[in-house]
């Protein structure tokens, strides 16, 4: 079964877990059945790779210093979230890893997202985090280099006018954003999600590393 997840542009997508028996070029056929209307069918091709650029499930994750803040003005200088959760900015990824704390790392930029999924994804993580904050550390990272100009965060563009990624994006080898990583107290990756995700999926992943 596929779950419908809405994006911030008023559209959405269906998400389902699928096991592929081999790598290579795969395709999907999707049929939409709407009451009192003709069925509509679409096909799409996509590659399935053997390896991912990001850490694989069960692998040790890399350590990287991420930005932290403990005041509203400090958070506003490192996050484009219009309703930030202060708990998502208290601890650096490197510190959580060094302490052996299980943590959730969220790469998302509500203001400059290239996929229209960052805002909804970050909100979903914040909602799912309720009830897990005593057991897990939550960390939000803006994937692009930003600077505060005229009271607002703005991207630092390269010579061709493109967005530049922060060091953490390179370290974790992100192919796109948003991306969520769930890491256990042993420093190994327990789960990861690209793009939109449901709260139930996240809670299940959080519980797998929270213990108890």
Residues 163 and 85 in one domain: yes
pLDDT-derived band of residue 10, with 50, 70 and 90 as boundaries?
Answer: low
Residues 79 and 176 in one domain: yes
pLDDT-derived band of residue 105, with 50, 70 and 90 as boundaries?
Answer: very high
Picking from 48, 63, 80, the residue at the C-terminal end of a domain is 48
| CB atoms near residue 72 (< 10 Å) | 10
CATH number of the CATH domain containing 168: 3.40.30.10
Cβ atoms of 29 and 41 closer than 8 Å: yes
DSSP E strands in 12-108: the ranges are 12-15, 24-32, 40-48, 103-107
Domain count, the chain: 2
| Cα Dmax for the chain | 58
Residues 86 and 34 in one domain: no
Residue 55 included in any domain: no
Residues 35 and 82 in one domain: no
Residue 150 included in any domain: yes
Domain of residue 14 covers: 3-48
pLDDT-derived band of residue 7, with 50, 70 and 90 as boundaries?
Answer: low
Residues 104 and 39 in one domain: no
- State pLDDT tens for residues 125-183: 999 999 999 999 999 999 999 999 988 899 999 999 999 999 999 999 999 899 999 99
Residues 118 and 170 in one domain: yes
Task: Compare 2 and 209 and report the one with higher pLDDT.
Answer: 209
Residue 169 included in any domain: yes
| CB atoms near residue 28 (< 10 Å) | 11
Task: Compare 186 and 115 and report the one with higher pLDDT.
Answer: 186
Residue 82 included in any domain: yes
Q: At what angle do helices 118-129 and 199-210 cross, to 10 degrees?
A: 50
pLDDT at 9: 60
Residues 165 and 92 in one domain: yes
Residues 171 and 105 in one domain: yes
pLDDT at 50: 82
pLDDT at 15: 77
Residues 92 and 143 in one domain: yes
pTM: 0.86
The number of residues in the chain equals 212
Residues 115 and 200 in one domain: yes
Residues 85 and 177 in one domain: yes
Distance of alpha carbon 18 from alpha carbon 130, whole angstroms: 28
- State pLDDT tens for residues 24-74: 999 999 888 889 999 999 998 988 888 889 999 999 999 999 999 999 999
Residue 62 included in any domain: no
Distance of alpha carbon 107 from alpha carbon 124, whole angstroms: 13
């Amino acid at each position: 079964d596929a779950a419908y997840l809405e994006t911030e542009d008023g559209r959405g997508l269906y998400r389902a877990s699928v096991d592929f028996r081999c790598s290579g070029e795969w395709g999907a056929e999707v049929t939409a059945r709407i009451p009192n209307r003709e069925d509509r069918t679409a096909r799409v091709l996509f590659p399935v790779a053997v390896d991912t650029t990001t850490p694989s499930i069960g692998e040790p994750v890399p350590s990287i210093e991420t930005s932290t803040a403990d005041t509203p003005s400090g958070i506003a200088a490192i996050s484009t979230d219009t309703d930030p959760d202060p708990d998502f900015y208290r601890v650096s990824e490197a510190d959580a890893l060094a302490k052996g704390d299980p943590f959730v790392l969220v790469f998302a930029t509500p203001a400059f997202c290239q996929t229209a999924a960052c805002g909804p994804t970050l909100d979903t993580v914040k909602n799912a985090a309720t009830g897990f904050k005593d057991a897990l550390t939550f960390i939000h990272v803006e994937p692009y280099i930003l600077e505060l100009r005229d009271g607002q965060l703005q991207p630092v563009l390269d010579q061709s006018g493109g967005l530049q990624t922060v060091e953490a994006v390179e370290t974790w080898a992100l192919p796109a954003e948003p991306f969520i990583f769930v890491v256990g107290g042993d420093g190994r990756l327990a789960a990861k999600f690209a793009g939109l995700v449901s709260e139930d999926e996240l809670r299940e992943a959080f519980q797998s590393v929270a213990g108890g």
